Amino acid sequence: MGELSVTLSGLTLDNPLIPASGTFGYGFDHADFFDVNEVGSFSIKGTTLHPRSGNPLPRIAEYGGGMLNAVGLENPGVHAVIRDIFPALSKVYHKKVLANVSGFSVEEYAKCAALFGREEIVGLIELNISCPNVHGGGMSFGTDPKTAASVVEAVKKVTKKPVYVKCTPQCPDLLTMCRTLEAAGADGLVLLNTFLGMRLDFKSGKPILANGTGGVSGPGVFPLVLQRIYEIYPKVNIPIIGCGGVSSARDVIEMMSAGAAAVEIGTQNLTDPLSIIKIKHELPLLLRELGIKELKNITGRAFR
């Protein structure tokens, strides 16, 4: 194991850098810029049981600290990903991926996860619980611990792959949510999904995004996410993947110090496609500066 290697529920990554879902597609676009095997792993585009065309345009807006998106889970559906995308991906990418799963009912989550769970290229299942529960009146699974737990329990019954849950900051009691997910059998947590926000057009005064609101991401949310990880880490016994605003190797060190076992990098991938490679090459230099031999030893050092 190298100085940058980390382990997530039995899945060993040679480095902790994971492009976040929706910012790396299925890996093919970034393959034009670098060998995609340099990333530790990557989370595939959020996938649902059936194909989705996503929200109407415009669905991207910028702000001083990053961006907002309201893409709306545009994807070809799990069957197309398994049939068409995974075989092509396996020719250029030789590691495991995180299969990001979304659904609008417990049954959809379970069916999608079961299909991905049979695939060799899938290292772990990442549940996006920010979707509205259509059987529960539209409330997001991610804001109600009981319904979120029902998703985890259903998914754990149909796959042996580790199951990580990507939580939303819109949850009114994130600590209770995380503890409930752990009790329901979640193998790990991803903290956090995007924050809810909006931008208005200066001239018209109307929302820029056709959807009205969107998910806020980028460096501006980094301190907010860091605080949540710092709060949750000592109170759960499962690994945390930190996600939100990471844009440098120092951010990686900081987020892992707060308790993250690995990190997802999102908006920065879109700003600079080579950013994750730059971060990877800088991390060993920082470790030597700190006198630390293995990066995994940094996790949770804020509490030691």
- Alpha helix ranges (H) inside the chain: 78-80, 86-89, 106-117, 145-156, 174-184, 222-232, 249-258, 267-271, 275-290
Q: Give every CB contact of residue 156 below 8 A, 6+ residues apart in sequence.
A: 163, 184, 185
Q: Which of 112, 131, 171, 243 is catalytic?
A: 131
The pLDDT score that the predictor gives to residue 2 is 73
Residues of the chain with pLDDT under 50: 1
Closest CA to 26 of 86, 77, 109: 86
Instruction: Please report whether residue 179 resides in a domain.
Output: yes
Give residue 193's Cα distance to chain centre. 7
Residue 1 confidence (pLDDT): 47
> What are 93's two structure tokens?
């990418």
Is there a domain that residue 199 lies in?
A: no
The whole domain housing 18 covers: 6-50+70-192+218-303
**Is residue 210 a part of any domain in this protein?**
no
For residue 228, tell me if it sits in a domain. Answer: yes
Residue 206 lies in a domain: no
Task: Quote the pLDDT of residue 139.
Answer: 63
- 200 in any annotated domain: no
204 within a domain of the structure (yes/no) = no
pLDDT at residue 135 in the model:
72
Instruction: Give yes or no: 243 in active site.
Output: no
Q: What is the pLDDT of residue 130?
A: 85
**Is residue 207 in some structural domain?**
no
**Looking at residue 250, which CATH number applies to its domain?**
3.20.20.70
Total domains in the chain come to 1
Per-residue pLDDT at 138: 57
User: How would you label 179-213 residue by residue, b for 16+ Cβ within 10 Å and e otherwise?
Assistant: bbbbebebbbbbbbbbbebbbeeeeeeebbbebee
Per-residue confidence (pLDDT) for residue 268, from 0 to 100: 97
Q: For residue 163, what are the CA distances in angstroms to 15, 86, 195, 241?
A: 20, 20, 23, 12
DSSP state of 62: E
